[in-house]
């Protein structure tokens, strides 16, 4: 089975307006569409890359497939591993701005939506402030059972491990170092959402912007040891982490080598030695 891309993140919320304000005023995303239940936020050409939903109870990650038939293949593949997948009904497809879809649960409880023909906007992305965001880049997942989550993303969904830090696994689906990062954790669910930014100027400007707005910076400015991406990570509503990053390794430097094992220590998460108290980035389990 072929996963084409990490498409969007849907986050359940009890405070839609507040969260939407955070995404626009702090993160700098563009509010593209808003209903009573959903806020659709853009970070790039997609009609939506982050959606806050007051209707959803469980967070979801969408993965794009290339053809309608692929959805059936995904269903078969999942079933062969004993995982049930349900089609997304017409109303659900409308809400998600997709043509068709299929949903299952990942071992850490997050819903995985396989989507076909997700909507792209014909309009250029224009963020609410100049945060330099270029795209939704990756998602970080917290896992109480790291082994079964790694198995789900690799053996079952076809991702490849680019590197490990301790048991933290960086999973790729395309030429980029990772689209999904799995962290051993005391919790299950979505740990963070990572947006790519143009360059280091944006990372640093966002760092000082976050400070000026007294948004807690969880880590950074830093440089992720395995992927080489420079980042700054802040804590948003519901404790979900939001990162800006730039310079993630890609291409032959990633795909033409075997996965590397890094030591289970803070310097393996940030080669610049930036401080953090976030347990997932401390290299302790």
Partner 1 sequence: MIDLKDITYCRLGTKDLESAEWFAVNILGLEVAERRKSALYFKSDSRAHTLCYFEGDPADQATAFELGSYADIDAAAQTLDQLGYKVHRGSAAECSSRMVRDFIRFRDPTGNVIEFVWRPEMSGRRYHGTRDAGITGFSHVGLCTTDPERDEAFWTQVCNARVSDHIGEAPLMRINEIHHTIALFPFTGPGIQHINHQVEGTADIQRSLNLIREKKVNITFGPGRHPTSSAQFLYFSGPDGMTFEYSTGVCEIHDEPAWRDRQFPFEPTGFCQWGSKPNIAAFQD
Q: How far is the CB of 209 from partner 1 (least distance, A)?
A: 6
For the CA atoms of the chain, what is the radius of gyration? 18
Pick the binder of partner 1 from 54, 111, 272, 279 (CB under 8 A). 272
Counted residue by residue, the chain has a size of: 285
CA distance readout (Å), 233 to 181, 193, 224: 14, 9, 11
User: Which residue stretch of 28-36, 98-106, 128-136, 201-209 sits at the interface with partner 1 (rule: CB under 8 A)?
Assistant: 201-209
Backbone angles phi, psi at 203, to 5 degrees: -60, -50
**DSSP structure string for 140-187:** EEEESSHHHHHHIIIIIT--EEEEEETTEEEEESSSBS-SEEEEE-SS
> Could you tell me the smallest distance in angstroms from the CB atom of residue 273 to partner 1?
4
**Binding residues among 218-257 for partner 1 as defined by CB under 8 A:** 221-223, 230
Cβ nearer to partner 1, comparing 26 with 98: 26
In this complex, which beta carbon is closest to partner 1, that of residue 50 or of residue 234?
Answer: 234
Give the pair of three-digit tokens for residue 35: 């209903």
Selected from 200, 215, 259, 282, the binder of partner 1 by CB under 8 A is 200
By the rule CB under 8 A, 283 interacts with partner 1: no
Residue 75 in tokens: 């269903």
Q: Residue 247 in contact with residue 221, Cβ under 8 Å?
A: no
Nearest distance in Å: CB 210, partner 1: 10
Using the contact rule CB under 8 A, the part of the chain among 62-70, 120-128, 145-153, 207-215 near partner 1 is 207-215
Using CB under 8 A, which of 204, 215, 259, 282 touches partner 1?
204
Shortest Cβ distance from residue 36 to partner 1 (Å)?
37
DSSP result, 15-69:
-HHHHHHIIIIII--EEEEE-SSEEEEESSSBS-SEEEESS-SS-EEEEEESSHH
Question: Are the CB atoms for 248 and 137 separated by under 8 Å?
Answer: yes
169/223 with CB nearer partner 1? 223
Q: Which stretch binds partner 1 (CB under 8 A): 90-98, 131-139, 177-185, 265-273?
A: 265-273
Instruction: Tell me which of 207, 231, 244, 281 binds partner 1, using CB under 8 A.
Output: 207
Residue 25 binds partner 1, judged by CB under 8 A? no
CB closer to partner 1, 125 vs 272: 272
User: Which lies closer to partner 1 via its Cβ, residue 77 or residue 278?
Assistant: 278
How far apart are the C-alpha atoms of 87 and 91, rounded to whole Å?
A: 11
Query: Which CB atom, from 45 or from 267, has the smaller least distance to partner 1?
Result: 267
* Choice from 81, 201, 251, 284 touching partner 1 (CB under 8 A): 201
CA distance 52 to 31: 11
Strand partners, 42: 30
Which residues lie near partner 1 (CB under 8 A)?
200-201, 204-205, 207-209, 212, 221-223, 230, 271-275
């Amino acid at each position: 089975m072929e996963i084409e891309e990490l498409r969007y993140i849907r986050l359940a919320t009890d405070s839609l307006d507040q969260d939407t304000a955070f995404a626009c005023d702090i993160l700098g995303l563009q509010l593209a569409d808003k209903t009573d239940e959903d806020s659709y936020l853009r970070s790039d050409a997609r009609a939506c890359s982050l959606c806050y939903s007051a209707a959803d109870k469980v967070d979801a990650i969408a993965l794009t497939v290339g053809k309608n038939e692929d959805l059936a293949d995904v269903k078969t593949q999942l079933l062969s591993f004993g995982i049930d997948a349900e089609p997304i009904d017409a109303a659900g497809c409308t809400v998600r701005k997709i043509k068709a879809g299929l949903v299952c649960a990942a071992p850490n409880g997050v819903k995985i939506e396989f989507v076909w023909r997700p909507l792209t906007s014909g309009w250029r992305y224009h963020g609410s402030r100049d945060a330099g965001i270029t795209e939704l880049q990756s998602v970080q997942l917290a896992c109480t059972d790291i082994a079964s989550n790694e198995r789900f993303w690799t053996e079952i969904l076809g991702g490849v491990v680019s590197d490990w830090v301790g048991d933290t696994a960086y999973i790729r689906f395309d030429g980029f170092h990772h689209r999904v990062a799995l962290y051993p954790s005391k919790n299950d669910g979505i740990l963070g959402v990572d947006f790519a930014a143009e360059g280091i100027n944006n990372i640093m400007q966002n760092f000082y912007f976050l400070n000026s707005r007294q948004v807690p910076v969880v880590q950074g400015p830093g440089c992720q040891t395995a992927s080489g991406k420079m980042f700054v990570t802040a804590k948003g509503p519901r404790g979900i982490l939001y990162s800006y990053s730039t310079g993630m390794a890609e291409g032959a430097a990633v795909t033409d080598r075997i996965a590397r094992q890094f030591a289970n220590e803070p310097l393996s998460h940030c080669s610049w030695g930036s401080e953090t108290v976030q347990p997932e980035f401390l290299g302790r389990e």
